[in-house]
Chains A and B, each alone.
Chain A
Amino acid sequence: MNAAADLPLPVAIVISACLLAGAGLALTGAIGFVRMATFYQRVHAPTLGSSLGMVLILASSILYFSVQRGALVFHEILIAVFLTLTTPISLMLVVRAALSRDRHEGDLSVPPVERT
């Protein structure tokens, strides 16, 4: 049997709830990614998985390994820190590439280039 079966029931319920809620947020983000109409709306959806979804999944990981090993395990916090620090970079690159293309094509729904 695996170690997960040895967890006390209330703890197992909390861990599962966190994990499912986090996975649910990531799934909702993916659904939004498909359903949204425009590019700029679509890029918003996956941030569900990279913010609260990520935190919930990491929380369940911290809880599971802390209870299983009987000691506080929290190096998952680093994942949260680095994900939060690096997400803006890739998101900014993608959005600005799209914006630059739309401006180049003369799309009037995007703001024009600000002259310096």
Chain B
Amino acid sequence: MRRWLPHPTMSFVVLGVWLVLNQSLAVGNLLLGAFLGIGLGAAFGRLQPPPLRIRNRRIMAKLFVTVVGDVIRSNLALVRIILGGRTSKLTSGFVAIPLKLTDPYGLAVLACIITATPGTIWVSYRSAQGVLLIHVFDLIDEGEWIATITQRYERPLREIFE
């Protein structure tokens, strides 16, 4: 098991992607997908990835729902600003956020969340100090953004990955 599937999650993801891509559960596709999963899983291992531990799937599902809601809401907010002509008195700016989250997978998911939500962009993360720099499109209160990112996203991510 360990020898053929050193990274089972990665291998099963590859198999899943292959089956969805082909929209079929035929034996040939299953075999080819399994072959790809084992091969690419081994190749992935060569990159020496840090171990992945997902502790809490329930929180993961809850976080997903939260993020979907936030993405829709921030899309509408951004449309209102762009088409509403409120652009001249708009203040944008950088916000530095101290993070306790250190898990690389958690940080990667946080980067996807922050970028997928229109209005915020991940700029840089300093792992030595644990400080994340983001740029906010409609910046009114810096403290509010720090609270939002840490409470809404960082806390569940720490519960999932750490």
Contacts and interface: CB of A to CB of B under 8 A. Distances in A.
B contacts with A: majority SS: mixed
Nearest to B117: A51
B94 to A, nearest CB: 5
B21 A75 contact: yes
Interface residues of A, number: 38
A89 B79 CA distance: 24
Contact-residue size bin, chain B (C-beta under 8 Å from the other chain) = 35 or more
B82 A78 contact: no
B71 interface: yes
Contact of A52 (B71, B121, B131): B71
Contact of A99 (B23, B75, B123, B129): B123
Interface string B114-138: 1111110111101011010101010
Given A74-B20, A75-B20, A44 B129 contact: no
A75 B23 contact: yes
A84 B114 CA distance: 11
B115 A87 contact: yes
Interface in B47-80: 71-72, 75, 78-79
Contacts of A92: 111, 115, 121-124
Contacts of B75: 25, 48, 51-53
10 contacts: A25-B75, A44-B118, A44-B137, A47-B78, A77-B20, A78-B21, A84-B112, A92-B124, A96-B124, A99-B123
Interface of B: 17, 20-23, 71-72, 75, 78-79, 82-83, 87, 90, 92, 94, 96, 111-112, 114-119, 121-124, 126, 128-129, 131, 133, 135, 137
Interface of A: 25, 28-29, 31-32, 35-38, 40-41, 43-45, 47-48, 50-53, 73-75, 77-78, 84-85, 87-88, 91-92, 95-96, 99, 110-111, 114, 116
Cβ-closest 4 pairs across A and B: A32-B82, A88-B115, A52-B75, A44-B137
